Structure 1
Amino acid sequence: MQAVDSSTTNLAGVSLSATSESDVIGALHNILARSRVIISADLETPYSCRSYPINRSVTKCELDQPRISAVIKERQEQLDAALHEISDLERVMDGINNLYRQLIEKKDGITHSMNLHKRLVSGIWRLPTEVLSHIFVHCFPETSHISPPSKTLAPMLLTRVCRRWREIAVGMPRLWCRLRLYSSEVDNRCWESIAFCYDLWLKRSRGLPLSLEVWCRSDDSNTRLRSFIQPYINQISSLSLHFSPLTNWPELMFENLSALQELIVCAYNDSKMPQIAQSVSQLPLTMRSLKITFPVLSLHGFSAFTPLLARLTHIEVAIYQMNAVPDMLVLCPNLSSLTILTGVKQQMRVSRPITHQPSILTHRS
């Protein structure tokens, strides 16, 4: 066992230059034995307030002054002894606290060493990197996108288990291709910290296609966020945009999206739809999937996305009336999957024949 702090000396008659826990315990026993004498001492005298009559004459007190002075001297000696014992006890307590800290550190070291050696003989430690990589892929949460601060979820959680797991996780670009970004008003220092976290995450994707979910909350922060993702703009294959009613449509987000294949829009402002349709219609030829979860569209609002509709293969959209579906299909000749979101159960009535490629039609209320 390690010695206590060597700077502490003269502990109840025991030098602490090389004091062990047994010396501290022995000193504590000595202090307790001496302190019992002080604690058990009777402090009552004929002159105590509880026993000395108040109506005694002053003359009597003057005659007893020698005895009272002797009592005061005795009390001073008892006080000095009590203070000395308190001082010694404080030194012992410091030694005990020091020993306690050393034991806690020793316990932590033993636990760490034991866990390390347990891992060396465990089955999962012996798994090949390829097998662990496959397991890591299945550790992702059900949510479609991940926020970097989520240290309790994969892939960040995987980097905190051990050095080997961290090296494997960081070396797997596919683990770092999905990310949720928030554009909110923060000071420059806070934004630098957030941007560093985002940038570290996206760099680990190593050029693989990215799926980003962007929550637009203010115009100024949207511009700052757009500048941040600019180096990765050619990697974005899936983009999900959510913006509040008070936020302008972030047109800058649609510039140079040369690899975009899927767009998801959730706009809480009907008046923005013409502007949205104009921006979306200018997306590259790689665009194949469009999802508009809000607002609910009419046939006129849906047709505003022409000519993009002609090359889409998947559409998910909320509409007012199921009767508009046949006309929607006419606008989408290459469609292979259509998901309709409605707030009420409706039936589709077809008043005229429609020729279309084989498609999958899904109706979700």
Structure 2
Amino acid sequence: MPSVAADRARLLELESHIRGLEHTLATLKLEHSTVKTRLDAVKYPVLTLPNEIVAEILVHCLPPYPNQPPLVGPSSPIPLTHICSRWREIALKTPLLWRAVYLAVPACVPSDLQNIWLSRSGHCPISVGVDDQLTRYKVGGDELIAAVLPYCARWEYVSLSIDMVDDLTLEGSMPLLRKLTVVAGFWNWKGCLDFSDAPLLRSVDLDVCAARVIVLPWTQLTSMRLHDILYQGCFHFLRMTTNLVHCELSLSNMLGDEDDVREQPVTLPSLESLTIRHEDKKINDCLAYLILPKLSRLIVDTDVLLPDPIVSLTSFISNAGCQLEHLCIEGALADDSYRTALPSIKNLVFAKMDEGEEALGIESEWK
């Protein structure tokens, strides 16, 4: 009997406590509803922005055009479609977000994403990069190139790395193409690259393998960069590009009869800047066969000037007929004898290899 009385007393205590908690819960629910109603009534400024402003914000989240963002990752427009349903709809309907893309092998994304991506670019000129250097592993490089070919009429900036694609043929009308980079990377490559129908093309960046097979409107080019080019080939291409304003040459080892390339000087009447580097110390004196009356900026590897760099420079300036203002000598230590021999040059600097433009404080033509 004493335990029954205790239980009854405890039951009364519990019921009283429960009523207190229920009152507290009811109060919290009321406050919750009130706060939620106030929040639901709030109009966030970002959600009131016009679609055009939102689209502009999204475009500024990407690398500036014509830089090519990857298919996936933080610099891709794909994460912008995951913010909210409204912004996703805006992103998918904003062609400027999809006008540049970098496709690489292997691509760990759905195989049709590149087609969907480029189709979203509407009628915008596009910037496309394709890197299929792993094609030798049969992982789909041909498919990547095939994905961008249907859009060649809208190509504006294109970079192609097409290593080991023996039978690739690229041709067609490219009325918007302005800048082209091609790395074939394989000496026995037998493909055909025809970019002759590109009336706006002004700038090319080629390796020696691509230069051997490519067809270009050479005379309309104003900027040219050649990698690993043979000495003979260097003069061959310079003779075809008579309207160059900027030129960068990376010379490879000299083959064949040296006299074949030294019969006549090469005249480039519009050339303003020239960079010459080498991969073989046997290459020298190549400046002696260049007539460049408008040249104002020269970046040169010191070994290109051998056997006597100062004599080579003074002779070049005299023969070229130029008023050289900026000179960077790479791979040489600072030497006052250069300044004594070349007093007319306003900006004379010495730099480590491949740092000439930085040393002169000039932004690269190829960025």
Q: Which has the higher helix share?
A: 1
TM-score, normalized by length of structure 2? 0.50
TM-score, normalized by length of structure 1? 0.50
Largest Rg, 1 or 2 = 1
Q: Which has the higher strand share?
A: 2
